[in-house]
A and B are shown apart, each in its own frame.
Chain A
């Protein structure tokens, strides 16, 4: 099994540019999560999809952030326009069902630097 796949692994962009992060969950999983990790705030959940439908987007920082899941095997997190404070590592995770005993499998992350 390839695990959760994220691309790109590293992204360097300039303030004001659009950034798109991509995620391919583990085949058969119906729950997908986007997390962000910074030194100041640690790991925090941005958005949760179940069966391709956004269930909880309360962690999305502001309107500059948007996430989509057009099908069960692909999700994107878009930042437009990007700002230096968006610099962080963004992780995608997937799980089989999303319940309290369920295991989340994380991808390797995308390290985003906004200059």
Chain B
């Protein structure tokens, strides 16, 4: 499975934008890039996913590098409720495409 590398932790201030990076230099051409987050004492929650083009939804934006070897999750205005562990996950299109393989993720702290 292609692996991802994320910083262990990041800190942000409330109402400021947050850019969470993810490196995936061994990504294959058909791997989807997914982001999930886990708030304290809750199950993981889907945030966004993309393949090649940048994506926006009500929660966040996903910026994918042209060579697809890295991506950035953008929270446009962080709130205290966004404090969570953010996981960047690659999902292949092969036989095990159902799998979500979680790494350690990035612990985001949001300061008031």
Contact = CB atoms under 8 A, between A and B. Distances in A.
Interface residues of B, number: 22
Interface in A55-82: 55-56
Main secondary structure of the interface of A (DSSP, over half): strand
Given A108-B42, A109-B42, 6 more contacts: A4-B43, A43-B102, A45-B101, A99-B97, A100-B92, A104-B100
Interface of B: 30-32, 42-46, 49, 51, 91-93, 96-104
Interface of A: 4, 31, 33, 42-45, 48, 50, 55-56, 91, 93, 95, 98-109
19 contacts: A4-B43, A33-B98, A33-B100, A42-B102, A43-B102, A45-B100, A45-B101, A50-B98, A56-B98, A93-B43, A99-B93, A99-B98, A100-B30, A100-B31, A101-B91, A104-B100, A106-B44, A108-B42, A108-B43
